[in-house]
Amino acid sequence: MAQLSGVAIPGLGQAAPTAASSAPAVAASVAVHELQANSEWRFEVAIGRSIEVKVLSGTAELFGTELALNHTYTFRGTKAAIFTWHGCRIEVTGACEEYTAEETPMVLYVNTHFALEKLRDDASKGKGESPRVLVVGPTNAGKTSLVKLLTAYAIRMGRQPMVINTDSREGLLSIPGSLTATPFASIIDVEQGWGSSPTSGPSPVPVKLPLCYYYGLPSPEDNTRLFKPVLTRMALAATSRLSDDQAIKDSGMIIDTPGVVSQGKGGYDLISHIVSEFSVNIILVLGSERLHSDMLRRFSGYRTTTGETITLVKLDKSGGCVDRDDEFMRQTREAAIREYFFGDPKRTLSPHTQQVNFDDATIYKIREANPMLASFLPGGEEDTELELYEKVEPSSMILNCILAVMYAALNDSQETIRDATVMGFVYVAEVDEKKRRMKILAPLNTRITDRPMIWGSWPEATMSLIG
């Protein structure tokens, strides 16, 4: 891999960083901040709250995406950071937790980007393979932020990277519970997080078209017998997409992972599975000396399907990484679900309601691994005799739950349903067990009874979206 030091964007200084300049404080309703070169304004906006930010002068970026001058950006329920290479003035309207830091790992991150660019240039000239990057690290180490930053920088260079999300706790252009593979050819919408997908309604930024698969559990370790084949199917589809489009193939992949896979032997096996299925040739280890050491031992002699060795790079996590507590994550999931059906303040959607008889619905419930049962099996293996899903009749148990409608036929095998992509999601708004009927909320007015639906425990039953 290209050298990761001594590379910098022309004009970007590499002055020695200093400590954060102030402790977190509550911002005034309207404030103007002068940010020095190579500093970062970090902010947290509570769920249900919003702030407006405008760059008055200078240059600034959010996770690698450049912010336009004198344009008002609205941020809702998020934790993020605005970085400046040359200094800038920003105007902030609204209250948030915020502070300015002058110690950031941005020089390391941008050097990593340029090393990946060198590999992309070589790949386009037929001198090697494009980078297929896996980002690993503990929970709340800033993995998704790094993936977003590397993606944004690649887009700014005219690339079209394929971004893979293997973390079902969070959705990427989909709701939590799903795994996605998405080619990025257009700018990332900084206000929307990753941007919008076709179900999000009209958008000033072109929509992304994710390949979406459903896992429906919070952790890969909850059911590896389901997670691994779903991941394999997504890898096959993503690899096929790369082979069909030279621009995407030359740009390569950037793969995000859940923190749990970096925390123990079972997780390391899942990392090996991801490395194998996606032919990963670069692993970025974020914020963990021990994990880096373990990855070196595990992959030192490993070769990809194309005969490449794996390059391991250890990166510092940003000092702006903060723990996102369970309550914040729950509220974030609920906000994502509400946005999927109703849109956001800029784009209002009108979902359709339909009555579905119990007898017309085909619902499969995901079986969760039984840790007590697994403890009696050799090596903690899972019972492979059980089917992946249990066919269930609708009941009050599915009230306020999300169902994934699959691109499959009702008489398809469970393996075929498992490997299918997601057609969309519906929300169970009412269940009448006496009349054997339920009310479904769907983003589009399409018939769903001729498709199998999967009910998982993730995302968990949410608040009522109606009423």
Query: Which residues participate in the annotated binding site?
Result: 40, 79, 140-145
How crowded is residue 70: how many other Cβ atoms within 10 Å of its Cβ? 9
CB atoms within 10 A of CB 371: 11
Known binding-site residue numbers for ATP: 40, 79, 140-145
| Residue 211 phi, psi dihedral angles, 5° rounding | -80, 120
In whole angstroms, what is the distance from residue 399 CA to residue 331 CA?
Answer: 19
User: How many CA within 13 A on the CB side of residue 62?
Assistant: 24
- How many angstroms separate the most distant Cα atoms in the chain? 71
Task: Quote the CA–CA distance of 256 and 238 in Å, as a whole number.
Answer: 14
Cα R_g (the chain), whole angstroms: 23
* C-alpha span between 411 and 330 (Å, rounded): 35
CB 203 within 8 A of CB 294: no
Q: Is 126 left (phi over 0), alpha (psi -120 to 50) or beta?
A: left
Round to whole Å and give the CA distance between 313 and 104: 18
3-state DSSP assignment of residue 304: coil
CB crowding 399-408: b at 16 or more within 10 Å, else e: ebbbbbbbeb
